[in-house]
Amino acid sequence: MIVSKKSCKVLVTLIVICLSISIITIGVKTLTPEKPELVKKIERLLNISGEAHFIFIREYYDPLWERKVIWIHWKTPIHNHGIDVKIDAISHEILFYSNNHKRCILLAGSDIKISQNKALEKAKEFILKVSSIPPDFILSNCTMVKVRGCTQEFYYEYLFEWSRIINGISVEGELIRVHLHANTGEVVGYCKIYHGDKPMNSEVRISRDQAISIAKDFIIKKQEALIERGYPFAHLMIKALQTAKVEVKLKYVRFRSIQIEHGAPKGLWLCWIVKFTFTEDFLANKWVKIYVQATTGEVLYASSCK
C-alpha cells in the first residue's frame, strides 16, 4: 500500500492532537480533585454556585465541637474568596458554614436593604433547612455588626444568636449563630455548638456578695504572687481594683477547649461570673472575669484582657 506524504502528515497530526488531548485530560483530572457525593449534596443544599471550585475535604478532630468533623473547602474566582463547611463526621449535620464569596463587596452592596424582622425570618429558615433549634434554646442576641469588606469599604451583617437555657439560666459556650448580609439578605455564616450535657452542679450556696469577695481575694493573691516573682507591672491591677466597676452574672458555663488547656475544668458548671472593669489610666476599659463555682465557691477560671 502506497501512502502519500500528505496523508502521512495528516495521520501524524491527528495522532499528536489525540495524544495532547489525552495528556491534558489526565493532567486536569490529576490537578482537580474528584468531587465526593457528600460534597455534591452539600453544594445542592447550600446552593453553592458552579463557579466555586471544590478544593479539599478533610476529616479531623476539632476541639471547638469536641468531635470529629469533615471540613469542605471551596474557592471562587473573584478575590479567591473561600467557602467553608464543617459537618459532623458521623451524623453529617452541618455545624459550620462561611461564605466569603457572598460577602464580596464586588457582588453585594454595602447599604442595608433588609429589615431585622425579615432577616430573623430568613435566619430561622436557614437553621431549619440545615439543622434544628433544640427545645432548650432561645433567641438571645440580635445585633448588627459593621464589617470591613474586602475592598476596605464597610458593609453590615445581622448577627442572631440562640443560647441554651437551663432552669431560666443561660449557658455560656453553647449556641447557634447566624450571620446574614444586610444588603442581600443571604445567610453568609452559621455556627452551631451544642453538647446538651447535664450540669455538674445546679445548687446556689454562695451568695452574690460572697462571690465578689472570693473573686477580689483571688485577684489580689494572684497579683501579689506575681509581684514576688518579679512581674514589673503586676501592682497596677491591685491599685486599679479599688476603683473598678463590678458586674455579676449567674450562668452555666461550658469552658472552651482553649480555657480547658489553661486550667478550666471540663463539663457544664453553674458559676457566678464576677467582672471587674477598670477605670484608671492604661487599664481603663480593661476587665478581669472570675468564674466562681456557685455551690462550693471554688474559683474555676480567671479571664483577663490583653
Partner 1 sequence: MPLRCNYLRKKNKLKSPHVLALLLVCTICMLCCGFSIIFSAPSDYPAMCAGCDPITGYDAWASNDAQETHNYLAYWGYPLEADDPFTSSEATRSAILDRIEFKRVFYFSGHGGIVNGYTVFLAWDGYVYSYEIDERVSVSNSYFFVFIDACESIAEIDMASAFIVSPSEGCYVGWRTPVSWESATEFRRYFLEYIDYTGCSVYDALIYVANLTGNYSWDFYGAAIDVYLKQGSLGGAD
Binding site for partner 1 (CB under 8 A): 53, 55-56, 58, 64, 73, 75, 79-82, 84, 96, 98, 100, 103, 145, 147-148, 150-151, 159, 161, 175, 177, 179, 188-189, 191, 222-223, 225-226, 231-234, 236-237, 256, 258-259, 262, 281-289, 303-306
Written as one letter, the residue type at 273 is I
| Nearest to partner 1 of 76, 293 (CB atom) | 76
Least Cα distance to 86 among 130, 123, 49 occurs for 130
Q: How far is the CB of 64 from partner 1 (least distance, A)?
A: 7
The whole-angstrom separation of Cα 213 and Cα 108 is 51
CA distances from 282 to 180, 236, 243, 285 (A): 36, 9, 14, 9
The whole-angstrom separation of Cα 88 and Cα 79 is 29
Vertex 176: Cα angle to 171 and 179 (nearest 5): 135
| Nearest to partner 1 of 57, 200 (CB atom) | 57
Residue 103, judged by CB atoms within 10 A of its CB (0-12, 13-18, 19+), counts as buried
Q: How far is the CB of 100 from partner 1 (least distance, A)?
A: 5
In this structure, the number of other CB atoms found within 10 A of the CB of residue 210 comes to 14
| Nearest to partner 1 of 4, 285 (CB atom) | 285
Q: How far is the CB of 213 from partner 1 (least distance, A)?
A: 20
Bridge partners (DSSP) listed for residue 75:
53, 82
C-alpha cell at 205: 450556696
Q: How far is the CB of 82 from partner 1 (least distance, A)?
A: 5
CA distances from 92 to 41, 71, 135, 171, 222 (A): 11, 11, 20, 25, 45
| Nearest to partner 1 of 103, 254 (CB atom) | 103
| Nearest to partner 1 of 279, 296 (CB atom) | 279
| Nearest to partner 1 of 176, 206 (CB atom) | 176
Written as one letter, the residue type at 26 is I
Q: What is the dihedral of CA 211, 289, 245, 203, to 10 degrees?
A: -30
Q: How far is the CB of 11 from partner 1 (least distance, A)?
A: 25
The whole-angstrom separation of Cα 33 and Cα 191 is 27
Please name the residue that has the C-alpha cell 502519500. 4
Q: How far is the CB of 264 from partner 1 (least distance, A)?
A: 9
Q: How far is the CB of 3 from partner 1 (least distance, A)?
A: 29
| Nearest to partner 1 of 136, 287 (CB atom) | 287
137-148 and 245-254 strand pairing: unpaired
Q: How far is the CB of 293 from partner 1 (least distance, A)?
A: 19
| Nearest to partner 1 of 50, 168 (CB atom) | 50
Contact 96, 190 (CB under 8 A): yes
